[in-house]
Chains A and B, each alone.
Chain A
Amino acid sequence: MTVLGWIQALVFFAVIMALTPPLGGFLQRVMEGERHVLLRPLGFLERLVLRLAGVDPAEQSWPRYATALLGFSGLSLLVTFVMQRVQHLLPLNPQSLGAVEALSAFDTAVSFTTNTNWQGYAGETTMSYLTQMAGLAWQNFVSAAAGLAVAMALARGLTRPASGAGPATIGNFWLDLTRATVYVLLPISLVVALAFASRGVIQNFSPSLQLTTLEGETQVLAMGPAASQEAIKQLGTNGGGFFNANAAHPFENPDPLTNLLSMLLIFAIPAALTFTFGRMAKSPRQGWALFAAMSVLFFAGLTVAYGAEAHDHPLARVAGAAPGAGHLEGKETRFGVAGSALYAVVTTDASCGAVNAMHDSFSPLGGLALLANIQLGEVIFGGVGAGLYGMLVMVVLAVFIAGLMVGRTPEYLGKKIEARDVKLAMLYTLVVPLAILVPAAWSAVAPHGLASLNNAGPHGLGEILYAYTSAAGNNGSAFAGLDANTPWYNLTLALAMLAGRFLMIVPVLALAGSFAAKKAAPPGPGTLPTDGALFVVLLLGVIVIVGALTFFPVLSLGPIVEHFLVGAGQVF
């Protein structure tokens, strides 16, 4: 580790912290329909979308909100699937790419509608330009907007006083979706896409460019509209690369400045939402407490990952290479170890899944940190919206456990946490281990699972584990050596992604409805303060214990045993 490497990380974090209040305040005003700076210039677009879609702007109960979200996601999935299947008949396909194979198209459609962006295919040789922008980039926008909508619904349920008359409502899905898209995602993406293009991210509709290199070889450069997709892929914590190498490809991430900008985009909205929540709770400290818990976990992961990657590559060291370069297999020279480890931690924390280095080639402990980041439930800032609602579910559990310890009725923001709420929170918590461990165990013993491995030994188990972890966590990054474009993996990973998205969103919306119906009581002398350091520690304890108890056994068979085998010089 170097001082400059840490300065890079600290500057990144300082910018995120500085952005959190203004962006969080802006999000609150936009999503609650208050006045904000973009209302005048872009208000016409919101009104146009709502009119064309025929939206009734009335408040919705949680079942209605969930119906709208599931209906929209289901149709999105269908359209994205069909578009891939007929892309050879549609325009903007200068390379004349054929229809995407059915199971792969299904996997990809699920992947992008669930905000996962797991990619079993290689972008430059599979997807036409139209599919990339009108199928995949479109889903980058609306799946992120849907995540933000769910977070707002839960925040409203927790912070609104019960109306008393009529059923409790949690907002309107169509308004939330439209506002998030029109006022937040579109304008920021537009500006950032131009910034990316100014540094060298390509944006064109040209066919591949064939050229003759200095030594007389033929080189063919894949082209396409990459900058527009790159911007929303980061901002929406989607992560699906235009090219196979994702943000390691120089046409997606040409220099250290675009690298920093990408990381800032990934964390910007998830971090800001903590402030939004504090605003809605009328107590900024409630938001900062969540921010603090997330920050502790972020720096813990970064320290482990950067520390591990800063060591020289063991196989290069054995071969007698010059020391001091660090673990550079699968990393780009312009980012180096510090820029790659930081990016990897950010992308796995935030459920993004964009990569600027190949996680499969990380050292065992570096890879372990990335796995753990996802397995803790994507609550370390997390995906757009998903991070906040995931963290709030953990808060419900933490408050409940604290209530058990002192023998008082647990309450959060004055609202009582009752049996039904804890059941919903536990339902949410159990989906991820179920969607990871069951299919991973199956794949680890079945021939159709093992045939896809690129690495043998414990690292092979790591490849399988990472795949399902990434899918269930809706992350989308990979230990990419695993050939996941097989019927078995396309199907089971799609199921894991669906479970990791919708089996978690529905309990969250139910929780939102449940809290919305509760009256808030003023805090008494026995109320557990949820905005102080003590509560942050308690919350961290719950997150780590839930994650560690669930995943420690399988991690010890994968990366942990691999770490000791590397030390012993063992290869497979």
Chain B
Amino acid sequence: MIASELKVAARMTVVTLALTGLAYPLAVTALCQALFPWRAAGSVIDVAGRVVGSELIGQRFTRPEYFHGRPSAAGAGYDATASGGSNLGPTSAKLRERIAADQARLVAANPQAPGPVPAELLLASASGLDPHVRPEAAAWQVPRVAAARGVPSTVVQALVVRAVEPRTFGFLGEPRVNVLKLNLALDAALGARSRATAGSRLSAER
């Protein structure tokens, strides 16, 4: 009994592996490449022929003229080869220090901001690649971005309002703003600042 069942088991191992481990994913790949090639390849955004990111994957923003996303625990921050959260619980001293440091930095960098810091700008996402912030957190950064770009707040505020993505069907998920897309809209409307090149030199030296 044991020998005959093991013989079937060996053949079944090979057959199911070929069917579900090879044929199935290859078929899905072929269909996806035919039906949704842009999505299947990572939803990348081209600007003037240059890939600047994926609309689904958050990026690190530090300059005052751009909106900033949430703290990231992925590698050194928004490292898309090392996704993950901080995994720190609410009794973690490490987490308390990180929040206090971010809080002080954000308050100093946003002197004209209305009201206290929005909580998610202090709280890291699960993936470390969260492309979104809540509309409140974008609105909170408007005075800083407007001042850095030398334009009235209302101009930037209008772009934020336009960037808000509502809940799906009105009840699924949360309203949100895609930070990369908002920053691209800013650049498109107000022009990329010339300091952008200086910034890339700086990061290369780092």
Binding site for B on A (CB under 8 A): 4, 7-8, 11, 45, 49, 52-56, 63-64, 67-68, 71-72, 74-76, 79, 122, 124-125, 133-135, 137-138, 141-142, 174, 177, 181, 185-186, 189-190, 193-194, 197-206, 208-209, 211-217, 219-223, 225, 227-229, 231-232, 243-245, 248-251, 254-257, 259-260, 312-336, 338-340, 355-358, 360-364, 367, 454-459, 462, 479-481, 562, 565-566, 570-572
Contacts and interface: CB of A to CB of B under 8 A. Distances in A.
A186 B140 CA distance: 48
Given A49-B16, A315-B95, A214 B180 contact: yes
Contact of B126 (A52, A203, A206, A355): A355
A315 B86 contact: no
B103 A135 contact: no
19 contacts: A124-B81, A137-B25, A197-B36, A204-B40, A214-B180, A214-B196, A216-B202, A216-B204, A219-B78, A223-B41, A225-B25, A225-B29, A227-B28, A314-B90, A322-B116, A326-B119, A332-B130, A333-B70, A562-B90
Contacts of B92: 315, 455-456, 459, 571-572
A363 B35 contact: no
A55 B10 contact: no
A4 B28 contact: no
Contact of B2 (A71, A125, A363): A71
Contact of B12 (A53, A255, A328): A53
Contact of B66 (A215, A330, A455): A215
B99 A339 contact: no
B204 to A, nearest CB: 8
Contact of A329 (B8, B79, B123): B123
Nearest to A142: B16
A203 B28 contact: yes
Contacts of A209: 42, 44, 51
B152 interface: no
B167 interface: yes
Contacts of A200: 39, 43, 56
B167 A330 contact: no
A56 B1 CA distance: 12
Contacts of B21: 133-135, 137-138, 141
A329 B86 contact: yes
A390 to B, nearest CB: 25
Interface of B: 1-2, 4-13, 15-17, 19-22, 24-25, 27-29, 31-33, 35-36, 39-44, 50-54, 56-63, 66, 70, 74, 78-93, 95-96, 99-100, 103, 115-120, 122-134, 136, 140, 167-168, 170-174, 176, 180, 183-184, 187, 196-197, 199-204
B82 A141 contact: no
Contact of A197 (B32, B61, B180, B196): B32
Given A74-B9, A320-B117, A330-B124, 5 more contacts: A67-B1, A208-B81, A212-B52, A364-B89, A459-B92
A250 B131 contact: yes
B136 to A, nearest CB: 7
B28 A245 contact: no
Contacts of A74: 9
Given A321-B118, A334-B176, A205 B29 contact: yes
Given A315-B95, A316-B123, A334 B25 contact: no
A181 B28 contact: no
A316 B99 contact: yes
Contacts of A570: 91
Nearest to B87: A481
Given A53-B15, A194-B32, A209-B44, A256 B128 contact: no
Nearest to B114: A322
Contacts of A213: 52-53, 59-60
Chain A CB within 10 Å, residue with most, of B32, B41, B128: B32
B131 A479 contact: no
A202 B116 contact: no
B90 A364 contact: yes
B149 to A, nearest CB: 14
Contacts of B184: 214
B20 A181 contact: yes
A327 B197 CA distance: 38
B44 A211 contact: yes
A142 B51 CA distance: 40
Nearest to A95: B81
Contacts of B39: 197-202
B83 A249 contact: yes
B171 A219 contact: no
Query: What are the 9 A-B residue pairs with the smallest beta carbon separation, nearest first?
Result: A216-B200, A256-B173, A481-B87, A138-B21, A248-B126, A336-B174, A245-B83, A134-B21, A358-B85
A413 B64 CA distance: 70
A110 B66 CA distance: 47
Nearest to B13: A75
B49 to A, nearest CB: 13
B29 A204 contact: yes
Contact of A458 (B54, B91, B201): B91
Contacts of B133: 333
Contacts of B131: 250
Contacts of A320: 103, 116-117
Contacts of A479: 87
Contact of A215 (B29, B57, B58, B61): B61
Nearest to A231: B28
Given A216-B203, A256-B168, A325-B134, A211 B12 contact: no
A221 B95 CA distance: 27
A255 B173 contact: yes
A215 B60 contact: yes
B2 A67 contact: yes
A325 B120 contact: yes
Contacts of A336: 173-174
A321 B4 CA distance: 67
Given A71-B2, A257-B168, A227 B32 contact: yes
A225 B174 contact: no
A524 B91 CA distance: 58
A248 B85 contact: yes
A79 B123 CA distance: 42
B76 to A, nearest CB: 10
Contacts of B52: 211-214
